[in-house]
Chains A and B, each alone.
Chain A
Amino acid sequence: MNLLGIRRPWRLLAEASALVIAVIVAFPLYWMVLSAVKPSGEIQSTSPRPWTLSPSLDSFRRVFEQHEFGRYFLNSLLVAVTVVLASALIAFLAATAVTRFRFRFRTTLLIMFLVAQMVPVEALTIPLFFLMRDAGLLNTLGSLILPHLAFSLPFAIWMLRGFVKAVPEALEEAAYIDGASRTRFLWQILFPLVFPGLVATSVFSFISTWNDFLFAKSFIISDTSQSTLPMALLVFFKPDENDWGGIMAASTVMTVPVLVFFVLVQRRLVSGLGGAVKD
């Protein structure tokens, strides 16, 4: 049985290389977790070993013992979830508008959505800072939610376009014949069909929001109760002190939620990204 159209030795070679590459790609993550549980003496050793015989949770303790760590975690989660939900909703509506309707400036808008993705976020920190200040949002989570929403929207709309387009127009017409209103079609027919695409795009907004430390650093100036996770982790990012154990433990803590999110949506992500081509 030659299912994949290649001969056996070649397939074995392909599988072996896939596994080797998987190991190489996963190695940095393995090393991160490993260094997080190594006792500090072993981390500083000049002959690092790829295992440890005496795992310790000291590094994690240092991370979690920080003042109000749980609060930071919740703040991060709140910001990321708000951005994900809001951007999914807004992008869904916008993507529907630009794919299921013809109107003046449609192409212009599309080009603008593409161009909007190119804006260097870091350069906009300056004007955004003044904008947030004038809106009185500095030092609040709102100053993180709004810019992230704005920066994740163009990409989300751009991605979702393909999914919305992929829903056959005949379906829309059939719905109307059955007497469905536009609203009903939008939410009860189109929305569920586009949902995998929404998940795929949510991955991007979640990651960029969760990982951000530039805005957190710039906009949450002095109110520690509004700090997010990266701020708590930055404490360990002091190149001079080389607290690698703390850095790696903190990095692990920050990566795990994203990984969980990823694994949860993995299926939908692959089928979702595939949806863009079926068109």
Chain B
Amino acid sequence: MTNDTVSADTAPGSALRPRTPVRAPARERRTRRVGAGGWTPWLYLAPALVVLGGLLVYPIYQLGLISFLEYTQAQVSGGQPTTFKGLGNYATLFGDGEFWQVLLATVLFAAACVVTTLAAGCALAVLLTRVRALPRLALMLAALGAWATPAITGSTVWVFLFDPDHGPVNRLLGLGDFSWTYGRYSAFTLVLLEVVWCSFPFVMVTVYAGIRAIPSEVLEAASLDGASQWRTWRSVTAPMLRPILAVVTIQSVIWDFKVFTQIYVMTNGGGIAGQNLVLNVYAYQKAFASSQYSLGSAIGVVMLLILLAVTLVYLRIVRRRGEEL
């Protein structure tokens, strides 16, 4: 990628590039670059936009479209013509008590996962800053191991660990042949543990990196002022970490709301009589097991809208604080 400096002038827009230092306030300097940039940002963005347009936006459009159609296997393989159903699929969905149950379970389960993951991740990040190199390395490596484990293998290993007959956990806890996947809540608990296990490392590592980035003088000053640990955390560390906490929170919400593999593998596709279904698995089962593609798509659209609402709330909070995107 070598290029000598002068002749880039031939490129569109480059003639306008400022060659002299502009000692202007940041705002103004940036404004100037609008003209200077011209089409350059769009050129840089083009590959991303093409990929996302073709493989994300277009499929989402189709998802929405399918959710308004009568679209089952017979339509897919051309046996019957597709017909427009309007809001029929949504009416079916909202009229089904199971959907509301699954929705409630999804929200509560995701909330529990987010809270537990954040609490564990932040607590351990703080712990990491309080210990010497060896224990830190041990915890870091263990966490990276958990992070690196593919969801499908992680889920399987956890099911095996909690297996009533061959698993070590029940023996360790003296639970006999208690079946974790039978009860609705114990099954959700088991899945929650696995989800937290594989997602707390992201929070821990990120928050730890964030704490490390806080200048030590600030913390020392606080401690010299006689501030307690808790006080230092609340008044100094937490505010400085806020942007990073916001990022890990919103990421956790997004990921945990969409949990799929763990539920699918650990509860065998949604648990006994579908007691452990969450929206994502529910949509998949409707679409692929029962071939009701349009119903599955409608569920997908509902999920998308819910996550969109969460994002908007998040953006409002960011905006209100006057932070820039």
Direct contact of A and B (CB under 8 A): yes
Is there a chain B Cβ closer than 8 Å to A52's Cβ?
Answer: no
If the complex has contacts A46-B166, A115-B308, are A28 and B135 also in contact, measured as CB distance less than 8 A? no
Is there a chain B Cβ closer than 8 Å to A91's Cβ?
Answer: yes
Say which one of A56-64, A65-73, A100-108, A219-227 lies at the interface with B: A100-108
Task: Please state if B21 and A239 are interface contacts (CB–CB under 8 Å).
Answer: no
User: Which residues of chain A from 88 to 117 have a CB within 8 Å of any chain B CB?
Assistant: 89-91, 93-94, 96-98, 100-103, 106-107, 109-111, 114-117
A107 CA to B323 CA in the complex, in Å? 13
If the complex has contacts A22-B138, A102-B37, are A154 and B208 also in contact, measured as CB distance less than 8 A? no
A124 CA to B143 CA in the complex, in Å? 31
- For residue A276, which residue of chain B has the nearest CB? B244
From B31, B33, B63, B168, A127 is in contact (CB under 8 Å) with B63
* A262 smallest CB distance to B (angstroms): 5
1/0 per residue, CB under 8 A from A, across B297-317: the answer is 101100110011011000100
1/0 per residue, CB under 8 A from B, across A106-147: the answer is 110111001111111111111110110000000000000011
Task: Please state if B143 and A131 are interface contacts (CB–CB under 8 Å).
Answer: no
A35 CA to B4 CA in the complex, in Å? 59
Is there a chain B Cβ closer than 8 Å to A198's Cβ?
Answer: no
* B280 smallest CB distance to A (angstroms): 5
Interface residues of B (CB under 8 A from A): 1, 3-6, 8, 11, 14, 17-22, 26, 29-31, 33-34, 37, 40-42, 44-45, 47-49, 51-52, 54-56, 58-60, 62-63, 66, 124, 127-132, 135-136, 138-154, 156-158, 160-161, 165-168, 171, 197, 205-206, 208-210, 212-213, 219-220, 223, 229, 240-241, 243-244, 247, 250, 254, 257-258, 260-261, 265, 268, 279-281, 283-284, 287-288, 293, 296-297, 299-300, 303-304, 307-308, 310-311, 315, 325
Q: Which residues of B contact A274 (CB under 8 A)?
A: 209-210, 212-213
- For residue B148, which residue of chain A has the nearest CB? A258
Q: Which residues of B contact A115 (CB under 8 A)?
A: 307-308, 311
The 8 closest A-B pairs by CB, nearest first: A123-B300, A274-B209, A150-B55, A181-B8, A251-B153, A118-B307, A211-B150, A127-B62
Task: Please state if A255 and B153 are interface contacts (CB–CB under 8 Å).
Answer: yes
If the complex has contacts A18-B138, A22-B138, are A128 and B55 also in contact, measured as CB distance less than 8 A? yes
